[in-house]
Structures are given as C-alpha cells and as structure tokens.
A and B are shown apart, each in its own frame.
Chain A
Amino acid sequence: MALPLRPLTRGLASAAKGGHGGAGGPPPQDRRAHPAPSAARTWRLLTFVLALPSVALCTFNSYLHSGHRPRPEFRPYQHLRIRTKPYPWGDGNHTLFHNSHVNPLPTGYEHP
C-alpha cells in the first residue's frame, strides 16, 4: 500500500503529542535530504484519502435508500404516545423533533 501503515499500527500517540511521529520517517542517513514528515501531513492525508471519501460514500448510500415510504397505519396503542403531563414547549402535545409526516399525535396523524 502507498500509505505508511505499519508505523500507524504502532499507535499514533506521538502524533497526538504534536511532534514528529506521523509516519516514521526516512532511515538516519537520509535525514538531511528528506526531512521527516510531520504528524500534520499524516492527518491531512488521512482526512482527504480516508475520511472525506467515506463521508461521500455514506452520503451516496443514504441517497440511494431515500425516498417516501408508505407510513404505518395509525393504531391508538395505549403504551405509545403517552401524555401524563404536557411537554413544557409549544402546545405540550408535540415531541421536540416532531415530524408531522411520520409522527402521529396520540389521536392520529395530522396530515391526511
């Protein structure tokens, strides 16, 4: 692999310290010609090669799974949508992140 993974598996505690240690470094005789890569370079590499592509892949995956589904029919079950005391916000009947398309109130869905 192009990534210098073996030094990474040894743990990057030294990278956390902020100093050198992100990717091992060249053998001693080369140190004047090739200065040791810093920890910042390692993390920047990881961000652009691993983290951001993963985010893009996961976004694409959620897009593929998106779309309207038929919502379940409403049944006034007594163990759900319990209101022993009104919520301290709004009209006291809507949950904090109420979504009227998919969340019914205790009496039923709001939109037909």
Chain B
Amino acid sequence: MLDVEAQEPPKGKWSTPPFDPRFPSQNQIRNCYQNFLDYHRCLKTRTRRGKSTQPCEYYFRVYHSLCPISWVESWNEQIKNGIFAGKI
C-alpha cells in the first residue's frame, strides 16, 4: 500500500525525466511534488483495484530524479504518521 518499505525502485538504469510542458521553467519544485503525489495516488488506486502497480514506476523514477532526498524522506515519514498534507 502506502507504506514505504513495500515500494522498491525499478530495476536497471533510467534516464533523466523528459520535458514536462506543465512545468517549463527552471523551478522544478512543482514537478517534483506533482510526481510524488501522482506516484502515491497511482499506487493507491491500482492496489485498491487489485491491479499491477508497474505503470506507477514512471512517476517513481521522475520524482526520485527531481526531488531532494531529504524532502522525499520527510514526506514519507509524514505519510507513515498520517500527517502528510497533500491529497493522496
């Protein structure tokens, strides 16, 4: 589910996230956060429907490339404690 330990990074190497026209500027904070949210939302709906969560790996790769590790860790901590402020 949403617990962090169950999420494994996909195997192999992956390339830099492609250009996202929703976030054309230099500041990519929103891009990072949006992909983090999308990954968790994707996980949540796919597991709720009992489907494979393989398509969600794209979002995982993007936010891992873009987001500072400390942010990801702190967000995962908040999700674990139920105090994450975003809508997942």
Interface residues of A (CB under 8 A from B): 75-79
Can you list the 5 inter-chain pairs with the closest CB atoms, starting with the nearest? A77-B83, A75-B83, A79-B85, A76-B83, A77-B85
Report whether B82 and A78 are in contact in the complex, using a CB–CB cutoff of 8 Å.
Answer: no
Say how far A107's CB is from chain B's closest CB, in angstroms: 13
Interface of B is mostly: loop
Say how far B33's CB is from chain A's closest CB, in angstroms: 13
Q: Which residue of B lies closest to A79 (CB)?
A: B85
Report whether A75 and B82 are in contact in the complex, using a CB–CB cutoff of 8 Å.
Answer: yes
List 10 contacting pairs A-B, 8 Å CB cutoff, sorted by A.
A75-B82, A75-B83, A76-B81, A76-B83, A77-B83, A77-B85, A78-B78, A78-B83, A78-B85, A79-B85
Bound together, the chains give a CA A73 to CA B28 distance in angstroms of 34
Contacts of A79 in B (CB 8 A): 85
Bound together, the chains give a CA A78 to CA B81 distance in angstroms of 11
